């Protein structure tokens, strides 16, 4: 069903989830996650021609209902920008420590001329919730919007048809739901999403982790390739007995280990390289563990990280 109205909150803020006691002992208490420097909002958007990344934190001043509105020259007045987001529990190892256990996405407010991060279930964005944001100025051959239509969808999945992905199970695919690509339309998909490779069709697909049917008209920002835009490093994280504890799988990577300022993006991958198949149904995020000096992918609802759950990562050093 198409929703012609812009997203608006209709539900109370979700309850706070349990905190990680062992993490808090290693973190500075009482401070919200600091945002990375952002470009001046008064700069001309037309001058922004390169991929950029930053951290955005929801505050009372920049949030309304289910949305926090991004104020950045890379996104202001740019409905054609392609955004990727990942919740960040404590960027830089500084304890914002705010969970957002709702499926999230992005949308463009034509009235405000700004992109926003929003909760797909329309619950209020929690104050202090932080998000890693990656902005590609415009679509290209490796960065584009996928919209679910009858011809490309089946059950819980919408299938990509692209020469960079067809018959290429090794391709890494990053996705973020977008409510109204280009500032028009508007379809909700209130489900955590991931990607998987279908050997029968020799295609990659975006799917709902809870196996709910993919809504027709649902759209997703997509980035392809093992060399992501903007100079980030690409990696695959697989949860094993050795790197997993509780709700988290800890990343061992030269760019992230010992670097609390690394900016990490994740997309769940059901069967990396077309092998295996493990669901991780809750919304995920990134956090920094001072105890072992590693970044981690974690389940926002506090549930145990399944063994063999896998995630495509894009990592920026800072």
Instruction: Give the pLDDT mean for 26-40.
Output: 30
| Under 8 Å between Cβ of 177 and 189 | yes
Instruction: Give the pLDDT mean for 40-51.
Output: 46
Q: pLDDT digit string (tens) for 57-91? A: 999 999 999 999 999 999 999 999 999 999 999 98
Report in angstroms the alpha-carbon separations of 42 from 50, 71, 76, 131, 138.
Answer: 17, 10, 9, 22, 20
pLDDT-based confidence at 273, cuts 50/70/90? very high
Q: Which of 13-17, 32-36, 46-50, 230-234 has the lowest mean pLDDT?
A: 13-17
Rounded Cα distance, 313 and 228, in Å: 10
pLDDT score of 192 more than 70: yes
Rounded Cα distance, 265 and 232, in Å: 10
Cβ-proximal residues to 304 (8 Å cutoff; 6+ apart), any chain: 246, 247
Q: How many CA atoms lie within 13 A of 269 on its CB side?
A: 27
Of 80, 85, 98, the C-alpha closest to 33 is: 98
Q: pLDDT digit string (tens) for 124-168? A: 999 999 999 999 999 999 999 999 999 999 999 999 999 999 999
**Residue 231: its pLDDT value, please?**
73
Domain locations along the chain: 21-136, 143-224, 232-316
Handedness of CA 191, 197, 201, 203 (dihedral sign): positive
| Under 8 Å between Cβ of 21 and 133 | no
pLDDT score of 218 more than 60: yes
Q: Which of 27-36, 48-57, 204-213 has the lowest mean pLDDT?
A: 27-36
Average pLDDT of the chain is 86
% of the chain exceeding 90 in pLDDT: 80
Q: How far is CA 3 from the centre of its chain?
A: 22
Q: How many CA atoms lie within 13 A of 192 on its CB side?
A: 22
Count of Cβ atoms closer than 10 Å to residue 165 Cβ: 22
Q: pLDDT digit string (tens) for 233-271? A: 899 999 999 999 999 999 999 999 999 999 999 999 999
Report in angstroms the alpha-carbon separations of 198 from 90, 201, 206, 246.
Answer: 35, 6, 11, 30
SS3 118: strand
Rounded Cα distance, 256 and 272, in Å: 21
Q: Which residue has the higher pLDDT, 243 or 226?
A: 243
**Residue 41: its pLDDT value, please?**
31
pTM of the model: 0.85
Place of tokens 């030269």: 254
Place of tokens 């920026």: 316
């Amino acid at each position: 069903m198409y929703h012609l109205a812009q997203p608006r909150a209709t539900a109370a803020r979700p309850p706070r989830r349990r905190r990680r006691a062992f993490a808090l002992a290693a973190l500075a208490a009482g401070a919200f996650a600091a945002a990375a420097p952002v470009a001046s909002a008064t700069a001309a958007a037309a001058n922004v021609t390169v991929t950029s990344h930053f951290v955005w934190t929801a505050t009372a001043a920049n949030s309304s209902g289910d949305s926090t509105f991004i104020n950045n020259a890379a996104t202001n007045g740019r409905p054609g920008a392609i955004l990727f987001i990942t919740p960040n529990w404590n960027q830089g190892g500084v304890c914002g420590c705010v969970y957002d256990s709702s499926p999230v996405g992005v949308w463009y407010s034509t009235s405000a001329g700004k992109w926003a991060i929003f909760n797909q279930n329309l619950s209020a964005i929690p104050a202090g919730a932080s998000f890693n944001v990656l902005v590609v100025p415009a679509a290209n051959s490796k960065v584009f919007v996928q919209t679910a239509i009858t011809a490309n969808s089946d059950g819980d999945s919408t299938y990509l048809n692209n020469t960079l992905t067809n018959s290429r199970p090794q391709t890494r695919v990053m996705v973020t739901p977008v409510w109204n690509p280009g500032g028009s339309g508007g379809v909700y998909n209130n489900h955590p999403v991931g990607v998987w490779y279908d050997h029968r069709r020799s295609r990659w697909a975006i799917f709902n982790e809870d196996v709910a049917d993919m809504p027709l008209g649902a759209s997703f920002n997509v980035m392809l390739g093992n060399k992501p835009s903007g100079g980030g490093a690409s990696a695959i994280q697989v949860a094993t007995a050795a790197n997993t504890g509780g709700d988290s799988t800890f990343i061992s990577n030269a760019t992230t280990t010992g670097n609390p300022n690394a900016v990490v993006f994740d997309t769940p991958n059901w069967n990396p390289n077309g092998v295996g198949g493990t669901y991780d149904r809750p919304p995920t995020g990134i956090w920094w563990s001072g105890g072992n000096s590693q970044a981690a992918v974690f389940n926002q609802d506090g549930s145990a990280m399944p063994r063999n759950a896998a995630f495509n990562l894009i990592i920026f050093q800072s």
